[in-house]
Structure 1
Amino acid sequence: MRTPRTFTTLLAATALALTVAGCGSAGDEAGGKRAGDGKDTTAAGGGAVTVSHLKGSTTLDKPASRIVALEWTYAEDLLALGVSPTGVADVKGYDQWVTGGPRFASSVKDVGTRQAPSLETIKVLKPDLIITSKVRSEGNYEQLNKIAPTLMFDPYSTDSEFEEMRATLRTIGTAVGKADAADKALKDLDGRIAAAKKKIADGGKAGGEVTVARGYTTDGAAVVEVLTDSTIPGGLLPRLGLKNAWTGKTDAYGMSKVDVEGLKPVEKSSFVYVAAKDDDVFATSLPKNALWKNLDFTKGDRVHGLDPGTWFFGGPFSTAQAADEIAGALTS
């Protein structure tokens, strides 16, 4: 069951726990004020750092440099900080689904799937930090933590995945001695969002209602998941000068699984979606459905497919890409 908590509570807890020692400092595929006001300890000699995460506090003798990321969100965060991870779970999948931002260097080692990474491969890499999520590693956290200090986050336990993404990037930035880079990455993201908002306003679409979804096929049937206000796209929409038309009940990942009839309440909105190129149910199976064909957004040509590599559960690059794609779709 989803357990909402306000971002204010999350940020307050992080601000209390995130310090620099000596200085005072989502299906299955669903990753303001500076948290802790941490400093970039690299510039101060790379001293010990203590960071707060889901499992409590972790202290590193110095900012980490050999990092294994077991969730795509945190691998993307490292790239946004200018840090090349030593290992990443499912590199091939990342390249397919997470297309915002730079690619990994050829030296980055694939450590297996996100659901079941190879502990032996991770151990051989001799990381000084592992970063993972609760949904992936609740069962093997202790094993991972014996290999290297392990930070665990849970983006889905908050009622604002957008704000949680920002706070987590700052926490990771402190852990790897790149707090200033985290601030810059978020400033760049805010700039991209502002540009997308202006594009929408200039196109006469400000204030419009939008439904954001993703779709895929399971057991031969089309599955549609609509993103609620708690998700990153849900957090983006008001920042783009738009309204989220969807107010349905959320699942553990911030989405609502619906059938075609369930989309009737939002048919007056614009409908934007992400689907794989080889499994675009909105372009193949759903157009054969009479109910789908009679929805107002279908008849009004307001159904827009976004780049299939737009990842709704990522870091600053993915979030910026989502803003760009939504703005482009509504104004094209």
Structure 2
Amino acid sequence: MTRAAVNRPTIALAAVAAASVLLLTGCGTTGNAGAAAGDAATITIVDDRGERVELAAPAEKVVALEWNTAENLVALGVMPVGVADVEGYGDWVQSETLDEGVTDVGQRGEPSVDAIAGLAPDLVLTTTDLPESVVAQIEEFAPVLVVRGADASDPIGQMQENLVRIATATGQEAEAEEVLAGFDEKLDEGRAALEAAGLAGAAFMMSDSWASGGQVSIRPFAEGALLTAVTEELGLENAWTGDGDADYGLGSTDVEGLTGVGDVEFLYITNGEADAYRNELSGNAVWQSLPFVQSGKVHRLPDGIWMFGGPSSMNDYIDAVVDTLAA
């Protein structure tokens, strides 16, 4: 990922928006053949399904069925009326806080269609991770804007474009400019701080993990993962060479699979007391033999940083990496 690629949506936000928005006004030259002349408020967005989503005006009552879409809404100054798994959001996404009055509409991946309908939303936001059958049910009573949850071929660009689409749908384009500029500024500050600490080019690995039945599963963030891309933009070099999936850039390994990583800055995120590295692996001989464990370079980052979030979560992540490594 080059610096230019990161800056693309910030310095050319209008171009990004134009790629997904067919109509922002009702002028006859916009190519909106279906809109009545003079219908200046009409917004038509092409989402990541390739579907045209038409809004009579910027959406105000919005339901978000994935946490990154909810986070982006709040960052843009639009408090959602409903969010999937409000409690989980509060645990994992501390960058943008929900109001107490936000309605819980069920679980991510299995939302309550009845609860969503009861809120009479202007717009429902979700990602390509939600089954199409559920999207179809919701579309019977509300427009649904579907953004791609992640894209390992351009993780930062996808994150930024998701924000742009949501901003266009809610009339918050100026706010999106500010959010994206703030993200670029945070990257610049973080890169400078790590360089000043002598960490430019330092090797790192990012992961999360969990334990089940005494067995520890480790999920490396490979090339194409959002956190990996952000860390590389900070001037560090990813030491994990295994493959990740095409969307989120996530791999899979066990503790033996870490033996070839070397003496790296080993970063990880978990939540609460569930810490497989400190708990289940504390007495594991292979884990204890790893160079980064022996050199004390295992770093648990603070709770509440959503690993698949928007610019606000990435800003928190940047602060955490800098505070941890450059302290």
Give the TM-score taking structure 2 as reference length. Answer: 0.88
Same amino acid, percent of matched pairs: 33
* 1:170-185 equivalent positions in 2, closer than 5 A: 170-185=164-179
Aligned positions, number: 305
Following TM superposition, by how much is the alpha carbon of 1:172 offset from its aligned partner in structure 2, in angstroms?
0.6
Contact 2:211 2:280 in 1 (8 A): no
Following TM superposition, by how much is the alpha carbon of 1:287 offset from its aligned partner in structure 2, in angstroms?
2.1
Aligned twin of 1:22: 26
Aligned twin of 1:212: 206
* 1:128-147 equivalent positions in 2, closer than 5 A: 128-147=122-141
Deviation per residue, 1:128-179 (Å, 9 max, x gap): 1000112123231111111210011223344122210101100110000001
Gaps of 5+ in 2: 31-38
Aligned with residue 156 of structure 2, among 154, 159, 162: 162
Aligned with residue 246 of structure 1, among 227, 240, 252: 240
Counterpart secondary structure, 1:131: strand
Aligned twin of 1:322: 317
Following TM superposition, by how much is the alpha carbon of 1:191 offset from its aligned partner in structure 2, in angstroms?
1.4
Contact 2:16 2:161 in 1 (8 A): no
Contact 1:128 1:149 in 2 (8 A): yes
Q: Which amino acid aligns with 1:98?
A: V
CA distance in 2, matches of 1:304, 1:321: 15
CA distance in 2, matches of 1:213, 1:17: 33
Q: Which amino acid aligns with 1:294?
A: S
Aligned twin of 1:122: 116
* 1:2-81 equivalent positions in 2, closer than 5 A: 15-19=18-22, 20-22=24-26, 47-55=41-49, 56-81=51-76
CA distance in 1, matches of 2:291, 2:64: 43
Moved over 3 A (4+): 11-17
CA distance in 2, matches of 1:250, 1:145: 33
Aligned with residue 194 of structure 2, among 186, 189, 200: 200
Q: Which amino acid aligns with 2:273?
A: D
Contact 1:21 1:50 in 2 (8 A): no
Contact 1:209 1:242 in 2 (8 A): yes
Contact 1:272 1:329 in 2 (8 A): no
Q: Which amino acid aligns with 1:293?
A: Q
CA distance in 1, matches of 2:153, 2:279: 34
Counterpart secondary structure, 1:216: strand
Aligned twin of 1:307: 302
CA distance in 2, matches of 1:294, 1:63: 57
Following TM superposition, by how much is the alpha carbon of 1:13 offset from its aligned partner in structure 2, in angstroms?
8.7
Following TM superposition, by how much is the alpha carbon of 1:297 offset from its aligned partner in structure 2, in angstroms?
0.4
CA distance in 1, matches of 2:40, 2:288: 60
Aligned twin of 1:88: 83
Gaps of 5+ in 1: 1-5, 26-44
Counterpart secondary structure, 1:258: coil
Q: Which amino acid aligns with 1:198?
A: A
CA distance in 2, matches of 1:165, 1:283: 31
CA distance in 1, matches of 2:26, 2:78: 24
Residue 117 of structure 2 is aligned to residue 113 of structure 1: no
Q: Which amino acid aligns with 1:291?
A: V
CA distance in 2, matches of 1:71, 1:49: 23
CA distance in 2, matches of 1:118, 1:17: 28
Contact 2:222 2:249 in 1 (8 A): yes
Bigger shift: residues 114-123 or 215-224: 215-224
Q: Which amino acid aligns with 1:109?
A: T
Counterpart secondary structure, 1:159: coil
CA distance in 1, matches of 2:212, 2:52: 40
Aligned twin of 1:296: 291
Aligned twin of 1:258: 253
CA distance in 2, matches of 1:250, 1:14: 29
CA distance in 2, matches of 1:138, 1:308: 32
CA distance in 2, matches of 1:265, 1:112: 42
Contact 1:227 1:254 in 2 (8 A): yes
CA distance in 1, matches of 2:226, 2:67: 15
